[in-house]
């Protein structure tokens, strides 16, 4: 039993953290809500109460997964690149523009889709290259750089869409609608779950393989662990800093365009949607491990949808929903949480080994 606990300790800890988070949320709901039983049900079960809501979870998780990976890769190299937000956005904008421009070629659907997704992915890579190169070359501060670039990405995208690709017939600021044959198919009835989700899952495994099973992934991680050591060992630190940002950018770019092609079918954002920041959250919860990030994204999306349902159907103020969400995330990310329980079990096990039958072995 104790050996079992040790082996799956991290999983068990997360589950307990979630349960405690839920318990605290219940407490809050009991205090703030007049019909607390109902509210509790909305928050926790709401997301599963209909196919379309389950669909909402998956839809919301999709861009978060992409951004989580985009953040995790530079984070693994200890490059605090928080540019996923802007990269996601600008790649979607330029990808949309590109799709509209080459629309005239009347390419067959599949080729068209691949071409546009590739373009947006590469654009994301290019956008990731900028801070990567500036950091490597001029030792600029990564956080500041990418924050600034997020602004640049935002204004550039809005300019591009509003001035050059704006659909004047629409009643609001948006780009022209994309042609039908470039839509990513929504393949689950009554939901908007689209092919982009499958691409996200594939990306998770690709990123995982990349980080832990390739030489470049190894180099990225070693630079992240100790950059002096990497240099001393002969790893090209310059290359790693640049490439970790580029590769992160690829995933953000792909995610941005997939979102446009799968859900909105046009570029209609007028403000940054915030997926990049969710990406930071899930990257931290998932310890920069793509597979854990996938679960973290689904979980975050579940919380968000629960909050949406709660907000919609109960008297609980929207702000409270945010509070509950952050409490749960806080508990999960608290490294030290339950650490001493693990320690106590370890000690007992180890002592059993060393001092068999109560005497010195």
Partner 1 sequence: MDAQISVRDIVKVYPNGVVANKKVSLDIQEKTIHAIVGENGAGKTTLTKILFGLELPQEGEIFVKGKKVHFRSPIDAIKMGIGMVHQHFMLAENLTVFENLILGIEPTKFKIFLDKKTAKEKILKYIEKYKIDIPLEKKIKELPIGVKQRVEIFKALLRDVDILILDEPTAVLTPQEAEVLFESLRELKNQGETIIFISHKLKEIKAIADVITIMRDGRVISTNSNEELTQHDIARLMVGREVSFERVEEPKEIGKVVLTVKNLTYTNSERIKVLKNINFEVREGEIVGIAGVEGNGQTELVELITGLKTPTEGEIRLFDENISGKSVREIRTRGLVHIPEDRMKNGVAEKAKLKENLISDRYYKPPFSNKGALNYNYIDSEANRLVKDFNIITQSIENPVSSLSGGNIQKVIVTRELSSNPKVIIASQPARGIDVGSEELVHNFIKEARDKKCAVLLVSADLDEILKLSTRVLVIYNGEIVKSFNEVSTLRAEDLGPYMLGVKRGD
Q: Which residues would be at the binding site for partner 1 (CB under 8 A)?
A: 212-216, 218, 221-222, 225-226, 228-236, 339, 342-343, 346-347, 349-351, 353-355, 360
Q: Which of 243, 237, 246 is nearest to 139 (CA)?
A: 237
Task: Give me the least distance between CB of 183 and partner 1, in Å please.
Answer: 35
- Measured CA to CA in angstroms, residue 96 lies from 45, 137, 277, 314 at distances of 37, 32, 22, 38
CB of 177 to partner 1, least distance (A): 41
CB of 153 or CB of 222, closer to partner 1 = 222
CB of 250 to partner 1, least distance (A): 16
Helix (H) or strand (E) holding 318: helix 318-333
E strand or H helix at 339: helix 339-354
Structure tokens at 275: 């997926």
Cβ proximity to partner 1: between 217 and 249 the closer is 217
Classify 59 as helix, strand or coil. Answer: helix
Helix (H, G, I), strand (E, B) or coil at 145: helix
Of 159 and 355, which has the nearer Cβ to partner 1? 355
- For partner 1, the closer CB: 180 or 353: 353
Q: How far is the CB of 233 from partner 1 (least distance, A)?
A: 4
| Minimum distance of partner 1 from residue 121's CB (angstroms) | 19
d(CA 83, CA 150) in angstroms, rounded, equals 6
Min. distance of Cβ 278 from partner 1 in angstroms?
Answer: 27
Token pair, residue 42, equals 């909305």
Measured from the CB atom, the residue of 58 and 240 that comes closer to partner 1 is: 240
Residue whose CB is less far from partner 1, 211 or 329: 211
Let me know: does 147 contact 82? Beta carbons within 8 Å: yes
Residue 175's SS3 state is: strand
Q: Are 116 and 98 spatial neighbours (Cβ–Cβ below 8 Å)?
A: yes
């Amino acid at each position: 039993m104790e050996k079992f606990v040790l082996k799956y300790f991290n999983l068990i800890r997360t589950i307990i953290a979630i349960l405690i988070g839920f318990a605290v949320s219940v407490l809050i709901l009991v205090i703030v809500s007049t019909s607390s039983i109902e509210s509790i049900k909305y928050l926790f079960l709401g997301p599963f109460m209909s196919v379309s809501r389950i669909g909402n979870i998956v839809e919301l998780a999709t861009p978060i997964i992409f951004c989580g990976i985009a953040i995790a890769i530079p984070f693994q190299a200890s490059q605090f690149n928080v540019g996923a937000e802007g990269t996601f956005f600008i790649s979607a904008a330029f990808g949309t523009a590109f799709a509209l421009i080459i629309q005239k070629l009347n390419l067959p659907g599949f080729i068209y889709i691949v071409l546009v997704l590739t373009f947006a992915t590469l654009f994301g890579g290019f956008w990731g290259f900028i801070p990567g190169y500036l950091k490597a070359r001029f030792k600029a501060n990564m956080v500041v750089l990418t924050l600034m670039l997020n602004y640049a990405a935002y204004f550039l995208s809005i300019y591009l869409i509003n001035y050059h690709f704006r659909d004047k017939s629409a009643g609001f600021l948006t780009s022209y609608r994309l042609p039908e044959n470039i839509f990513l198919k929504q393949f689950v009835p009554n939901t908007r779950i689209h092919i982009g989700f499958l691409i996200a899952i594939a990306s998770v495994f690709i990123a995982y393989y990349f980080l832990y099973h390739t030489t470049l992934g190894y180099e990225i991680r070693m630079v992240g662990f100790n950059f002096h050591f990497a240099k001393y060992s002969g790893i090209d630190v310059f290359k790693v800093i640049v490439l970790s940002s580029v590769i992160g950018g690829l995933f953000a770019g792909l995610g941005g365009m997939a979102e446009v092609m799968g859900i909105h079918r046009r570029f209609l954002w007028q403000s940054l949607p915030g997926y990049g920041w969710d990406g930071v959250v899930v990257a931290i919860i998932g310890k920069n491990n793509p597979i854990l990030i996938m679960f973290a994204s689904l979980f975050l999306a579940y919380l968000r949808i629960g909050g949406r349902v709660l907000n919609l159907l109960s008297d609980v103020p929207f702000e409270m929903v945010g509070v509950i969400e952050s409490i749960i995330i806080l508990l999960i990310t608290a490294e030290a949480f339950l650490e001493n329980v693990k320690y106590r079990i370890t000690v007992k096990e180890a002592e059993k080994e060393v001092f068999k039958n109560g005497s010195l072995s």
